[in-house]
A and B are shown apart, each in its own frame.
Chain A
């Protein structure tokens, strides 16, 4: 276990609070009752503290990791008991050989006689507390550790899935094989690579070039075309000269994806119309598709994209965008205007 300064100082602080405050608060009382035994009381407190600390750290650093965490409960509890007994005997011996004999107290002051049991109960409670707290502390640490291990394992597995160098080198090799013999395949690999690069790299930024976002959509539509049957009529009109403006990434894509998700069923006539244009600083997207029958399980999972996008539009372009969604029985119509200036 790594010990760092922060942990050491936390421990020290807790112990000081736990041990010094009871002493300081009761010291006054003792002093008032019997000034002669004051230094002896300090000794008593020191011994108690030492016992407490020994039990806590013996339990925390040795017994818990060795037995409790290895599920050797019987061994753990017997060792713990043994430790307590040893410590009690040890401190008892110290008391016995020192002149600090509890038996001398009642003679000096009868009130102290009543306090002694309280002190003993107090000490026992503190012991209990130290044992329980050391167990709880260990459990908490374990939990935290396993949580962070789980997280880093997840990240590592995600990273290994998408090592970009491997991915793009491989796509490039497929591209290389196809480039002279089947240029159409090469072109598709190129488009797919552009899309993947966009999602992996550019979307990490807050704003991207509008041209790049539109390029992603164009690539997406080109690749979707390969999947479509002749029953689908697809119109995509995009203005040629896109000004060098910036837009938040992936704001337009969900609407286009949605059209293909809900507008395509090879058994029915489908019609998708997508238009992108710029009017000075104002960007315009319109997507229209007629609705086809789609089995519910597929359809249900798709609402999130649009809801999420609405939320993002409100956050990023407050009072600078106009989103109209017209959801009728036959048709789904989206019109989005954003002022990018």
Chain B
């Protein structure tokens, strides 16, 4: 079960979330708040796993509220109009829901939260979560073909899916992948080690793709590959 609280300055908006949570068997809605400051006080004493948070509140915007929270609290923003999508993406929100929130969209958001929750609690190590296209995207590690580094962002090529472009340095990506099967072979390439089909000279072959081996990465790669 995921423990959640909801914050919205309009009491009726909270009844919608109460009603939707009551129908869900994943979310345990502990408490609802119309005053952001009260919610913050409560959270200091009783941290929640997930908060539903309105963005436009007169006392304190949802954005500022979330900024003052500890890092691993999951956030789902609720908003009447959608101009805050970009910001919620930067604040690592799980999702943002537009009011009125319907059952379908709510379930989608909750599922995302649940998957991320399991990932955070290390129950699920077979996937990673990447923020792209204004949302949190789950990528099974087994489906990653290769990762290509571009200037400020990187492109994750996935089996049977469109590549995902995410803003993140290659170094952080390597940490996220917690090494395991993945190896960096070049300034701009991370490859799944077990998928490598052949190596000729300083070129790696996976399917019909060819990847160069960078000088700084060559020793580590050949060391691992020859074993």
Residue from A168, A177, A187 within 8 A of B12 (CB atoms): A177
Enumerate chain A residues within 8 angstroms of B15, measured Cβ to Cβ. Answer: 176, 179-180
Instruction: Report yes or no: A172 in contact with B80, Cβ–Cβ below 8 A.
Output: yes
Residue from A165, A175, A180, A201 within 8 A of B100 (CB atoms): A175
Tell me, yes or no, whether B82 is within 8 Å of chain A by CB: yes
Tell me, yes or no, whether A173 is within 8 Å of chain B by CB: yes
Tell me, yes or no, whether A193 is within 8 Å of chain B by CB: yes
- Asked, given contacts A169-B13, A176-B12, whether A197 binds B98 with beta carbons under 8 Å apart, the answer is yes
- Asked, given contacts A169-B13, A180-B19, whether A190 binds B100 with beta carbons under 8 Å apart, the answer is yes
Could you tell me which residues of chain A, from 150 to 176, have a CB within 8 Å of some CB in chain B? Answer: 164-165, 167-169, 171-173, 175-176
Instruction: Report yes or no: B19 in contact with A169, Cβ–Cβ below 8 A.
Output: no
Tell me, yes or no, whether A189 is within 8 Å of chain B by CB: yes
Q: How far is the CA of A168 from the CA of B13 in the complex (A)?
A: 11
Instruction: Report yes or no: A165 in contact with B80, Cβ–Cβ below 8 A.
Output: yes
Tell me, yes or no, whether B16 is within 8 Å of chain A by CB: yes
Tell me, yes or no, whether B176 is within 8 Å of chain A by CB: no
Tell me, yes or no, whether B37 is within 8 Å of chain A by CB: no
Tell me, yes or no, whether B99 is within 8 Å of chain A by CB: yes
Could you tell me which residues of chain B, from 46 to 101, have a CB within 8 Å of some CB in chain A? Answer: 56, 80-82, 98-101
Instruction: Report yes or no: B100 in contact with A189, Cβ–Cβ below 8 A.
Output: yes
- Asked, given contacts A165-B56, A177-B12, A201-B82, whether A172 binds B19 with beta carbons under 8 Å apart, the answer is no
Q: Write out, one digit per residue, whether chain A residues 46-58 have a CB within 8 A of any chain B CB (1) or not (0).
A: 0000000000000
Q: How far is the CB of B32 from chain A (nearest CB, A)?
A: 12
Q: How far is the CB of B62 from chain A (nearest CB, A)?
A: 13
Q: How far is the CA of A164 from the CA of B56 in the complex (A)?
A: 12
Instruction: Report yes or no: B80 in contact with A169, Cβ–Cβ below 8 A.
Output: yes
Across the interface, name the chain A residue whose C-beta is closest to B20: A179
Q: How far is the CA of A189 from the CA of B101 in the complex (A)?
A: 10
Q: How far is the CA of A179 from the CA of B82 in the complex (A)?
A: 22
Could you tell me which residues of chain A, from 191 to 230, have a CB within 8 Å of some CB in chain B? Answer: 193, 197, 201
Enumerate chain A residues within 8 angstroms of B13, measured Cβ to Cβ. Answer: 169, 172-173, 176
Enumerate chain A residues within 8 angstroms of B100, measured Cβ to Cβ. Answer: 168, 171-172, 175-176, 186, 189-190, 193
Q: How far is the CB of B208 from chain A (nearest CB, A)?
A: 23
Q: How far is the CB of A172 from chain B (nearest CB, A)?
A: 4
Q: How far is the CA of A154 from the CA of B53 in the complex (A)?
A: 35
Enumerate chain B residues within 8 angstroms of A175, measured Cβ to Cβ. Answer: 16, 99-100
Instruction: Report yes or no: B12 in contact with A173, Cβ–Cβ below 8 A.
Output: yes
Interface residues on A, range: 20 to 34
Tell me, yes or no, whether B10 is within 8 Å of chain A by CB: yes
Interface residues on B, range: 10 to 19
Enumerate chain A residues within 8 angstroms of B10, measured Cβ to Cβ. Answer: 169, 172-173
Q: How far is the CB of A325 from chain B (nearest CB, A)?
A: 35
Q: How far is the CB of B102 from chain A (nearest CB, A)?
A: 5
- Asked, given contacts A176-B12, A201-B82, whether A168 binds B19 with beta carbons under 8 Å apart, the answer is no
Enumerate chain B residues within 8 angstroms of A197, measured Cβ to Cβ. Answer: 82, 98
Enumerate chain B residues within 8 angstroms of A169, measured Cβ to Cβ. Answer: 10, 13, 80, 99
Across the interface, name the chain B residue whose C-beta is closest to A244: B162
Instruction: Report yes or no: B16 in contact with A176, Cβ–Cβ below 8 A.
Output: yes
Q: How far is the CA of A175 from the CA of B101 in the complex (A)?
A: 9
Q: How far is the CA of A189 from the CA of B81 in the complex (A)?
A: 16
Q: How far is the CB of B181 from chain A (nearest CB, A)?
A: 29
Across the interface, name the chain B residue whose C-beta is closest to A167: B80
- Asked, given contacts A193-B100, A197-B98, whether A172 binds B81 with beta carbons under 8 Å apart, the answer is no
Across the interface, name the chain B residue whose C-beta is closest to A177: B12
Could you tell me which residues of chain B, from 4 to 47, have a CB within 8 Å of some CB in chain A? Answer: 10, 12-13, 15-16, 19
Q: Which 8 A-B pairs have the closest CB atoms?
A: A175-B100, A168-B80, A172-B99, A176-B12, A164-B81, A173-B12, A172-B100, A169-B80
Beyond A171-B100, A172-B10, A172-B101, 7 additional contacts (C-beta under 8 Å) are A164-B81, A169-B10, A169-B13, A169-B99, A173-B10, A176-B13, A180-B15
Binding site for A on B (CB under 8 A): 10, 12-13, 15-16, 19, 56, 80-82, 98-102
24 contacts between A and B (CB under 8 A): A168-B80, A168-B81, A168-B98, A169-B10, A169-B13, A169-B80, A169-B99, A172-B13, A172-B16, A172-B80, A172-B100, A172-B101, A173-B10, A173-B13, A175-B99, A175-B100, A176-B12, A177-B12, A179-B19, A180-B15, A180-B19, A187-B102, A193-B99, A201-B81
